[in-house]
Structure 1
């Protein structure tokens, strides 16, 4: 029971619960004990549910595909009734608890998940690491001096440690895929509008999305089935797909046209170890029967990045104002970079914001044209092989922060701007045994293609037995 998630994914354990081979209460208490022990080493979970709050989670869980599976929800972009959503910030730690679940959380419960706590995040999800001043740094289970990435690093750390089979994650510029890459997990960012963000309408001009990080491809697919679909009044809705996403993992993807990158768009070069990883993955894909060639999508990476910064700053200022409800942050209430982002956001004009959103849409059309020629775009997930703790700092200047941010989002953020689905798959490894996530992007609404390919790669080059030491 103690190491159950090292050998079973969430769907497999749910089958054991459904067949009464494992008691749901036994699973819950054993998992909580394992989570508390793991959290003592990793600092990945900010709040554990107990007493009446935990009992309400047990009662609210339905008999869906994840019946009885314990689950943690990130402290960002999702409300859980009866608890505050801190967004990783000291300023919002004491705000009133949520009266209701957000739409996605309600669907998680109906799918059978038992929410047992909240996972750590960087403040407002701004950093691609998980080292908030409020709550402290989360440690990567692969090595204690490394970050698990962010901003979904708390979720990724507990899953990589096999304390849970999957956990909630959100992605506004790479925050599902970056920690998936650094922790050796599977992470899919869905298309814009695939999973409702209700009761809010959107986040980051439609760039934000949510799903999970998981050990197995099929767990992510099944959770996507459970969470997909719109709510009344949603501003976006992804196109309907034929069949379920879980079914997509059970059929071959066919012969795909796959392009690959040796460097980020607009860059001069990339770490040779990452180039070698791309080339190795390209050969793996060719061996599986796919058509693979080097090709680069035509979009203005610098302009798209500048637009992303405009949207991020404006949203940071506005979200603080809305959530504060009249309160004014004191000197120590926000981290320096968060405060600088908000101050910059205050001065952004309507003209500049609209131009930034138009750049998102222009980039989306340019990627759309690329995906008329190719089914998939391959690259590394991030433009570095590891992330030592303290590499991306929120206590200095904006210039330094943005310089540290650049290699972390060089491949990922364009997918958020364009609204297209993308995934990180743990296929390659450094010489000293650290995971390197490979990044796969598809056209809008093509999650089924990505999941089918991921399942094929998982079968040919399995990663579930590659786990952190200790």
Structure 2
């Protein structure tokens, strides 16, 4: 990073996105300087971490040269996810080999809003092939390493985004979540990962709906206030959207100035199925419970009674059909039928499962997840917020989540670590993962707070209070911009 002064580098590394944008607005740093710092950081750190697999540096420099200091994130460099928003002129492959040459020819509404907020994309972050994995180890690009501890996964599917933000290459990065893919990598990399309420951010115009409203687009950040400001910048629906959540009277960022009222908060120390929580996870939960009690909130232990194991099986039945349809559409773009050697073994098994289901089997699975949706919402209705682990176990070693598994049922049966993830995809409730602890060998441990539908405001206020009491932003991983 010889072309970047140590003072600028230190300023960049120790600032969140809003702080950098404020410097741009004051004229103390330019968007071009920020982009050059971010590019230098990527070129220095990414050969080791492999988080940024598609680069659009010249496009970013051109945007920075023309940018006016407008928007909440004016001039701030960031990364798109490689399963994410359509941003005109950028490549988008989903880590699938036959899509290597796909270039977006238009902006999605999410991209338009990120552009209006002043964000400058440097490229796209690594993802597992087609996304259905909580590690990031695709055949096409190779594995992404966790900047805290290279022996464990950075999570997935937004693992590249999380690794890049944790290493300070960029202050925030796009992420998406169909079964934990924002929250899991946030937990594995010591970040803030908000999954908004169903319908909070439109799928349009490229898509009308994805997985019956169970997929969410957002970001991973280092601070709660960046997440709140990003929600302000990107939230909103388009005419005809199928899900319309309630909207608060004030902005989510402005709302952080207020402490949450005293809340009724539930928490669980019991897995809905699968093995007991890892001891380090239990300790992080109990420590968070103690902190929330010290704030004056009323805490009540509650073990889930909804049959989440059945709901997980139903969810994967539904998703296999949705993914098979999507893979066929991608193959149509390539101009040929999908072949078994085009995709990794599990993705082929998922594709086959999707095509083999009868209409009545699919309908029964849809009914199953809708019943689970109602049961989850009913069960949590007495609580203003609910605390769970993000992952029931510590981040797994690299290679543990092997997508070369050809048995569809065996692969999904291993996902008990993420038992508290998909439940809030199918129920539509907002959920946020926060850094809670680090192990002796520097592995982050996250906890998850779940809110009422449409009430991101309470979650963000509560998260900001936790962050203020136990700040994490200046804690730095092994691989990090100095």
User: Which interval holds the TM-score relative to the shorter structure?
Assistant: over 0.9
Per the alignment, in what secondary structure is the counterpart of residue 306 of structure 2?
Answer: coil
Which shifted more, 156-165 or 264-273? 264-273
- In structure 2, the partner of 1:40 is 47
**Superposed displacement of residue 345, structure 1:** 0.4
- In structure 2, the partner of 1:69 is 76
Deviations 1:119-172 (CA, angstroms, capped at 9, x unpaired): 111111111111011111000001122210000000000100011111100000
* C-alpha distance in structure 2 between counterparts of 1:37 and 1:354, whole Å: 50
State the number of aligned residues: 468
Q: Is the 1:207–1:417 Cα contact (8 Å) retained in structure 2?
A: yes
**Superposed displacement of residue 206, structure 1:** 1.1
What are the residue-to-residue correspondences of 1:345-424 with 2, within 5 Å?
345-398=354-407, 399-407=409-417, 409-424=418-433
Unaligned runs of 5+ in 2: 1-7
* C-alpha distance in structure 2 between counterparts of 1:240 and 1:350, whole Å: 36
Counterpart selection for 1:438 from 419, 424, 447: 447
* C-alpha distance in structure 2 between counterparts of 1:3 and 1:89, whole Å: 37
* C-alpha distance in structure 2 between counterparts of 1:123 and 1:448, whole Å: 34
**Superposed displacement of residue 59, structure 1:** 4.3
**Superposed displacement of residue 336, structure 1:** 0.8
* C-alpha distance in structure 2 between counterparts of 1:329 and 1:3, whole Å: 48
Residues 58 and 103 of structure 1: is their aligned pair in 2 closer, same or farther, counting only changes over 3 Å?
farther
**Superposed displacement of residue 89, structure 1:** 1.0
- In structure 2, the partner of 1:154 is 160
What are the residue-to-residue correspondences of 1:40-439 with 2, within 5 Å?
40-52=47-59, 54-56=61-63, 59=66, 63-95=70-102, 97-199=103-205, 200-267=207-274, 269-325=276-332, 326-398=335-407, 399-407=409-417, 409-439=418-448
**Superposed displacement of residue 434, structure 1:** 1.7
**Superposed displacement of residue 401, structure 1:** 2.3
Which shifted more, 343-352 or 99-108? 343-352
Q: Is the 1:259–1:296 Cα contact (8 Å) retained in structure 2?
A: no
* C-alpha distance in structure 1 between counterparts of 2:298 and 2:59, whole Å: 55
Which shifted more, 448-457 or 29-38? 29-38
Per the alignment, in what secondary structure is the counterpart of residue 72 of structure 1?
Answer: strand
* C-alpha distance in structure 1 between counterparts of 2:66 and 2:129, whole Å: 31
Per the alignment, in what secondary structure is the counterpart of residue 209 of structure 2?
Answer: coil
Per the alignment, in what secondary structure is the counterpart of residue 425 of structure 1?
Answer: strand
Which shifted more, 145-154 or 50-59? 50-59
Residues 257 and 395 of structure 1: is their aligned pair in 2 closer, same or farther, counting only changes over 3 Å?
same
Q: Is the 1:63–1:112 Cα contact (8 Å) retained in structure 2?
A: yes
- Give the TM-score taking structure 1 as reference length: 0.96
Unaligned runs of 5+ in 1: none
* C-alpha distance in structure 2 between counterparts of 1:82 and 1:215, whole Å: 28
Q: Is the 2:60–2:121 Cα contact (8 Å) retained in structure 1?
A: no
Per the alignment, in what secondary structure is the counterpart of residue 457 of structure 1?
Answer: helix
Residues 266 and 64 of structure 1: is their aligned pair in 2 closer, same or farther, counting only changes over 3 Å?
same
* C-alpha distance in structure 2 between counterparts of 1:125 and 1:255, whole Å: 39
* C-alpha distance in structure 1 between counterparts of 2:61 and 2:386, whole Å: 43
Q: Is the 2:165–2:173 Cα contact (8 Å) retained in structure 1?
A: yes
* C-alpha distance in structure 2 between counterparts of 1:2 and 1:220, whole Å: 23
Counterpart selection for 1:7 from 9, 14, 19: 14
Deviations 1:206-248 (CA, angstroms, capped at 9, x unpaired): 1100110000000011000010000122121211222111122
* C-alpha distance in structure 2 between counterparts of 1:165 and 1:100, whole Å: 25
Deviations 1:68-87 (CA, angstroms, capped at 9, x unpaired): 00111001131111123111
* C-alpha distance in structure 2 between counterparts of 1:400 and 1:359, whole Å: 20
Residues 58 and 298 of structure 1: is their aligned pair in 2 closer, same or farther, counting only changes over 3 Å?
farther
* C-alpha distance in structure 2 between counterparts of 1:289 and 1:54, whole Å: 49
* C-alpha distance in structure 2 between counterparts of 1:142 and 1:14, whole Å: 27
Which shifted more, 46-55 or 383-392? 46-55
**Superposed displacement of residue 268, structure 1:** 5.7
Per the alignment, in what secondary structure is the counterpart of residue 241 of structure 1?
Answer: coil
